[in-house]
Structure 1
């Protein structure tokens, strides 16, 4: 390990003393995020995640190939692989520009993943980018470019350090069956504190921190150091919900940030990668914002630093959509319900402005008029409805087509008639969601609230059933409601968001605000996702998504 400079050591010593005096109980989660900064973060809405490290040269899962690996593998991984890492084509300014075009307001970069390899010139370990052919401080380049683009700067940092475990004779793993010996644990804590001190002291104001792994004292120490040095930094993972590769089933009032990959892997995967379509990524972004969350969408640069072509293509498709519709996801809040079937909503309450995302409209020919009914919103005298990006004055090359957006409040809801007029691609096809902007409107109902209860397996006369349960917590008139459940086979941790298709049961009787449905088990040893569903005449309301395994 490198020797620390005297000034660095003295500063560190003082900080460690301060941290020791304010150490919270290890079973508590330290959260010193300032409320005003959290609101600032929530308004950002959309960010870019960058997973990048020296093992991208192999195209393997970042860091995790070390767990369970042989000594020979670990030795070559740690000592040999960094010698060929040279991301000379990493263009931080180009990446930041592309992120901004895509509507992203912040970037989070992996300063250190679980392997322990540092992407900055650190004094704490030789296992860092300065000891590669590249030699430069990639974190410094990223920070400068991101700030210059007017984007918020975020650091991903893993308190877990597989290289430290290996150097100290411990098995490389994420979960230990017995506590790490105190002498080694103290060194472990000190390493993380020193590295966090460097990151907080070397690069100016850091806006966002994402801690991954090392729950308990490791991550708590890191948060203490960060907040002592930079009180305005917003900690996401480690202080708020950060669902990974999934979305919550309901709107969440507290701050949260979903993080997901375009394909199946965080870091670069050169072979057999299965990418989500640009349309699917936009649908996920819309759902995230409709449910009150931020989305952190990942890219994994190639070993030379370039963005893989497919990932860049996805970002540019998102950029085109954002250029037209960005105001509908920027600084918005959830509406009274996230969606009515395939129409999703965001809301700007101060402006009384509702945005309606028209999803699942495949093959909408340019110049064709379609009709929609929104039942959860009610117009006022000064209301207007427009299609974002369109003037509603013409359809190019179609002079006989009326491009006007018509709207009328009727007893059963707000009726809207609009045309897809704008030409986005040469072939006139544009299957991505169109967005309606509805001004000066108000809610048309107080929606019920439904809870998905834990399901159970019931055995009866040689057969087995999944017994779903739901509870209506809040409602105006139970007689107006019907209830059922939706379910689907669980696709897996990585694959869950590739589809949003569900199967639906028949209606279940509502008794004292509760309802139950028994579904015969057709296939054993299958994990299902399920959720309760209550249908109001003006909206369908879902409960949280849960899972159960058949036996």
Structure 2
């Protein structure tokens, strides 16, 4: 089984930055930072044979013809948008992102710009985006649409070369660039007209809360005219959130598959698969446990990010029992500990507590996420603000605590020692430290 990387999603094998850093923006909506959990749906014709979305033909694992033959088997026969939305709400998600169009160019809506859509070319024969958007909104979930800038099926796409020497992963693959000396700028201009027209259809037709871009790396910012694109999108919908895959013109960063050791300063989102694949691959049974997903979620929100958890429905629109169980396991933990999830921001720097932390918006309650069962005590270092009460989320049980050591005459606080809870959460026990004032930390080097 191959791990999820280039061949199983939007990334060539050669290493390169998965995102740009984004840019500060007046359009960044407050709902995003408090959402904490989103669901990332990779659904398309690639689920018919269970091959890697788009990358399988790009890497010649299957022929382009064999890949596109999956159009004949894509039925969406069991797709129930309300059932999806209900599951995602039980998982604790506040928003979802669906692949409106991946790099293969197959649209999930009835685009007027091409006949390459599930409406015109598959047995599904209907606008799946409309059903998706309607269902998510009925259940109170924000709606996001994934859109690939590049389109390896469009005849005018591979008409310019990107020769940036810092991007060695961009190769002479015929889906990507024309041979040397055969560029055709006029055809590229036609492609940009197509690109913008499809985006206008999505923004004006479905009014997404978020546009999740990908496929930006094969052209430069200037070739894409990303600055102009940002202005055009905001002119159509001023409150739309844009991810960072716009070469410097997005709102938030999108690292993949691992919590950053040094997380971004601004808003960000970790994209994570439940198994090793983004879309449905029947042979991929390497599912993360609910406990592993919950731990990653806690680490992510503690560092100020959202988790965008990937779900790969089967071709008929079924979400597998294995993925359903993990979503519901995560949702159960969030429900038990919702006070430490929603209405919070990134917690204290590492070293004050050996685990993730979140902080209430009023900065008067610090939540300690205990990844492992505490033994003699739970410790919190460098806390200056006096403590009013310590309790366990989920049970409300109060916990004895005391401060030991320190050098008060020089402003060096002691260590807050908290007695371990008698009853522990099956996954992560959260301890609420209520403060007598706003959080103040000691960050000095000690005295001596």
Which portions of structure 1, spanning 4 or more consecutive aligned residues, are displaced by more than 6 angstroms? 166-170
**Which of 228, 232, 243 is 1:236 aligned to?**
243
**1-structure distance, mates of 2:233, 2:386:** 48
**Structure 2 residue matching 1:140: 3-state secondary structure:** helix
**Structure 2 residue matching 1:313: 3-state secondary structure:** helix
TM-score (norm 2): 0.81
**1-structure distance, mates of 2:271, 2:293:** 12
**Structure 2 residue matching 1:153: 3-state secondary structure:** strand
**Structure 2 residue matching 1:319: 3-state secondary structure:** helix
Q: How many residues align?
A: 396
CA spacing shift, 1:167–1:39, aligned 2, 3 Å: closer
Confirm or deny: 8 A CA contact 2:157 2:188 kept in the other structure.
no
**1-structure distance, mates of 2:390, 2:24:** 42
> Shift in Å at residue 409 of structure 1?
3.1
**2-structure distance, mates of 1:185, 1:290:** 44
Confirm or deny: 8 A CA contact 2:156 2:187 kept in the other structure.
no
The answer for the alignment partner of 1:263 in structure 2 is 275
The answer for the alignment partner of 2:128 in structure 1 is 138
Matched, 1:414 2:416: yes
> Shift in Å at residue 414 of structure 1?
1.7
Confirm or deny: 8 A CA contact 1:241 1:257 kept in the other structure.
yes
The answer for the alignment partner of 2:314 in structure 1 is 302
- Which structure carries more strand by proportion? 1
Highest CA radius of gyration, 1 or 2? Answer: 1
Confirm or deny: 8 A CA contact 1:68 1:173 kept in the other structure.
no
**Which of 399, 410, 414 is 1:405 aligned to?**
399
Q: 1:82-139: per-residue Cα shift (whole Å, max 9, x none)?
A: 1221011122212212212222111111100000000111111111011211111111
**2-structure distance, mates of 1:111, 1:339:** 42
Confirm or deny: 8 A CA contact 2:42 2:312 kept in the other structure.
yes
**2-structure distance, mates of 1:50, 1:66:** 21
**Which of 415, 433, 439 is 2:434 aligned to?**
439
The answer for the alignment partner of 2:392 in structure 1 is 387
Stretch of structure 1 that moved more, 115-124 or 236-245? 236-245
CA spacing shift, 1:123–1:242, aligned 2, 3 Å: same
Matched, 1:207 2:209: yes
Confirm or deny: 8 A CA contact 1:33 1:234 kept in the other structure.
no
Matched, 1:115 2:104: yes
**Which of 256, 260, 265 is 1:253 aligned to?**
265
Confirm or deny: 8 A CA contact 2:276 2:284 kept in the other structure.
no
Stretch of structure 1 that moved more, 436-445 or 179-188? 436-445
Structure 2 residue runs of 5 or longer lacking an equivalent are 1-19, 161-172, 406-413
Q: 1:186-215: per-residue Cα shift (whole Å, max 9, x none)?
A: 121111111001001112x32111110134
Matched, 1:57 2:48: yes
> Shift in Å at residue 444 of structure 1?
5.9
Structure 1 residue runs of 5 or longer lacking an equivalent are 1-27, 393-403, 423-429, 448-475, 481-551
Q: How does 1:73-84 map to 2 (within 5 A)?
A: 73-78=63-68, 80-84=69-73
Stretch of structure 1 that moved more, 240-249 or 295-304? 240-249
Q: 1:299-336: per-residue Cα shift (whole Å, max 9, x none)?
A: 00011111111111110110110110122122321223
